[in-house]
Amino acid sequence: MPELPEVETVKRVLLPIVKGRTIKDVEVLRKTIVNNLENEFISFIKNETVLDMSRIGKFLIFHLTNDKVLISHLRMEGKYIELLENEDSTKYARVVFHLDNGHKLCYDDSRSFGRMIMSNEKDYLNEKEIAKLGPEPFDVDDVNPLLEKAKRISLPIKTALLSQELITGLGNIYVDEVLFASKIHPLTPAKLINKNEWEKIISESKRILAEAIELGGSTIKSYHPGKDINGEFQTRLLAYGRNRQICVLRHAFMRFIKVNGRGTTFCPRCQIKRGAPLKIAIVGKIASGKSTVLEEFRKANSCCVSSDQIVHELYAQKAIQELIIKKLKVKEEGEFVEALRNHIANNSKDLDKLEKIVHPLVKKEIEAAFKKSKAKLLVAEVPLLFKANMQNMFDIIVGVDIDEKIQIERLQLRDKEKSALLKRLNDEKNLFNEHLSEIDFIVNNNDNLACLRKEVRSIICKVEDRLNPLLPRT
C-alpha cells in the first residue's frame, strides 16, 4: 500500500502534469471508485481547471476552480498514469481524465480499492476521512498530546500507529522501520509508550520519511508510484520484509508475526517485548534436560505445556492413528507407537510426511492451552521448534545444551538398545546447533541436577524482569 513517501512522490510527479490544465471530459469506468456517484462526479469535474495539489497523510488533494476539491486515496494499488489521447488507456484504468492539451490521465487500480471524494475548499478538512487523521510526524514538535491520547489506547503500538489517528502517514512498511529504529516491540500496548519513546518514534519517523521521500518512496512487489516510476527506499529497509534475515544491529534473526492481521517484522533482541504474557519456548537435543527446565518454570507458576505429551495424547487418538497409517502406509502390527517407530526407522523419508501431519496439530494445542491460561509466563517445551518453524510464536527461546558424550550416556540409561536410533533421528530433525543465534538463553546441562536448576532459576528471574512494562526498554 502506498504510504506517505509514495503519495508525496505521486504528488510531485503529478503537479507539473495537471497544474493549469482544464479537464475537458472524464470517464468513470468503475463506479465504486467515485462511491457510485458517476453522474454527479462527471458534472463535478468536467470543465474545471486544476489550480494546485497538496497532500494530507496518504491522501492526494486536487484543488480545482470554483472552490472545488477532489480528495483521492490510492489505497493498495492506485496510481496515476499520463498518456496521449491517441494511446490506449491502461489495463486497469478506472477513471480517465481528458485534459485540454491532448493528454489524458488514467487512474489505474488493479484492485479497485481506491476512492475519490468530492468536496470544497471550505469543508474538505472536515470530511470524515480527513478529520480523523492525526498530525504528520513533520508537524509534531511536542509529544505530550500524543502521550495523553495514547494513554487511553490498549491496542499494540503498531496497530495504533496504523490507525492514522495518533499520527498520520505511516503504513505497514514505515511502522516496521520506525519501531525497529526506536527499539520498541510492535506488540507493546500504546498506553505503555513513555514520553522518551514517543520522542524517539517522532524523530525516527521524520528521519525515515524524509529519506524515503528523497528516494521516491519504496517500490514493493507490484506497487509503483506511476508509469516507469520506481522508488529506491526499499534498498534501505532494515526491518520490513527481512524475516529470517540477520538483524543489522544484533546478529539475531528477524522474526515475522501478525499484529491484528498485519504482517510485522522485528528483531527479538533489539525490540524486547515487555509486559505479560510472555511466551517462552524450551528447545534442546534429546536427553538434554528440557523436562527439568520446564518443571522449574512450572514451579514459578507458569503455564507449562509439553509437546512430547501432546504428541503422546495425539497418538492415542484412533482418528489420528488411522490418518497416519493411511498417509504413511504403516503396517498395523502390534502397538501403534512401536509400529510407527519401526516404520520411520526403515522409511526415513516418511519422517517429513509424519511431521506435516503432527506439527500443525501440536501448534494448535499449544495455542489453545496458552489462550485458556491467565498465567504471566506461557511456556512450551518444543524439541522440534525450528524444524516445525514455530519460533515466531514465542517471545523468548530457552535452549538446553549438552555435550554429546554425556547425552549418549543418558540415552543409554533410558534404553541402551534404541539409544543410537533415537539420537540419530533427533539429530536429523532437531536443528539445535544450526539455530543457536536465535536462542535468547542457553542452559548448559553438563553438570549435576542442582546446577541445572540453579541456572534455570536465574533465567526465570531475568524473564520475570520483563514482566514489568515500565522498566527501560533497552
272 domain residue, yes or no: no
CB-count burial class (<10 Å; 0-12, 13-18, 19+) for 79: buried
Considering the domain architecture, whether residues 348 and 457 belong to the same structural domain is answered as yes
Q: Do 359 and 390 contact (CB within 8 A), yes or no? A: yes
271 domain residue, yes or no: no
Model pLDDT, residue 332: 79
Q: Do 174 and 5 contact (CB within 8 A), yes or no? A: yes
Considering the domain architecture, whether residues 125 and 16 belong to the same structural domain is answered as yes
Q: Which three cell numbers stand for residue 290?
A: 528440557
Model pLDDT, residue 421: 47
CATH number, residue 216: 1.10.8.50
Considering the domain architecture, whether residues 259 and 287 belong to the same structural domain is answered as no
| 239, 266, 293 - which closes a domain | 266
For the question of residue 58 being annotated catalytic, the response is yes
Model pLDDT, residue 222: 45
Considering the domain architecture, whether residues 338 and 370 belong to the same structural domain is answered as yes
The tens-digit pLDDT sequence of the chain (474 residues) is: 678 888 998 999 999 999 999 999 999 999 999 999 999 999 999 999 999 999 999 999 999 999 999 999 999 889 999 999 999 999 999 999 999 999 999 999 999 999 999 999 999 999 999 999 999 999 999 999 999 999 999 999 999 999 999 999 999 999 999 999 999 999 999 999 999 999 999 999 999 999 998 887 655 544 444 555 565 677 789 999 999 899 998 778 899 999 999 999 999 989 999 888 999 999 988 878 899 999 999 999 999 999 999 999 999 999 999 999 999 998 877 889 889 988 988 888 888 899 999 999 999 999 999 999 999 999 999 988 988 989 999 999 999 988 888 777 776 666 655 545 454 545 545 567 778 888 999 998 888 889 999 999 999 999 999 988 765 544
Considering the domain architecture, whether residues 147 and 195 belong to the same structural domain is answered as yes
Considering the domain architecture, whether residues 295 and 322 belong to the same structural domain is answered as yes
Q: Alpha-carbon torsion 448, 451, 453, 459, what sign?
A: negative
Q: Which residue out of 19, 262, 376, 418 is catalytically annotated?
A: 262
Q: How far is residue 408's CA from residue 286's CA, in Å, rounded to a whole number?
A: 9
430 domain residue, yes or no: yes
- Residues 6 or more apart from 173 whose CB is under 8 A from it? 3, 218, 220, 237, 240
Residue for grid cell 516445525: 388
Model pLDDT, residue 129: 92
Q: Do 204 and 218 contact (CB within 8 A), yes or no? A: no
For the question of residue 299 being annotated catalytic, the response is no
Q: Which three cell numbers stand for residue 355?
A: 511431521
Q: Which residue out of 2, 137, 225, 268 is catalytically annotated?
A: 2
Terminal Cα-to-Cα distance of the chain (whole angstroms): 31
**For the chain, what is the domain count?**
3
203 domain residue, yes or no: yes
| 204, 235, 266 - which closes a domain | 266
471 domain residue, yes or no: no
CATH number, residue 452: 3.40.50.300
Q: Which residue out of 58, 115, 269, 274 is catalytically annotated?
A: 58
Model pLDDT, residue 425: 47
Considering the domain architecture, whether residues 209 and 356 belong to the same structural domain is answered as no
For the question of residue 3 being annotated catalytic, the response is yes
Considering the domain architecture, whether residues 301 and 415 belong to the same structural domain is answered as yes
189 domain residue, yes or no: yes
CB-count burial class (<10 Å; 0-12, 13-18, 19+) for 412: middle
473 domain residue, yes or no: no
Considering the domain architecture, whether residues 295 and 430 belong to the same structural domain is answered as yes
Domain that holds residue 256: 137-266
470 domain residue, yes or no: no
Q: Which residue out of 3, 6, 204, 296 is catalytically annotated?
A: 3
Q: How far is residue 389's CA from residue 46's CA, in Å, rounded to a whole number?
A: 56
**Between 404-415 and 419-430, two packed helices, what is the crossing angle to 10 degrees?**
130
Model pLDDT, residue 407: 72
Considering the domain architecture, whether residues 189 and 106 belong to the same structural domain is answered as no
For the question of residue 79 being annotated catalytic, the response is no
Beta strands in 30-159 (DSSP E): 50-56, 59-64, 68-73, 79-84, 93-99, 103-108, 115-120
Residue for grid cell 514505515: 174
Considering the domain architecture, whether residues 447 and 461 belong to the same structural domain is answered as yes
Which helix (H) or strand (E) covers residue 410, if one does? helix 404-415
| 71, 100, 131 - which closes a domain | 131
Considering the domain architecture, whether residues 142 and 124 belong to the same structural domain is answered as no
CATH number, residue 49: 3.20.190.10
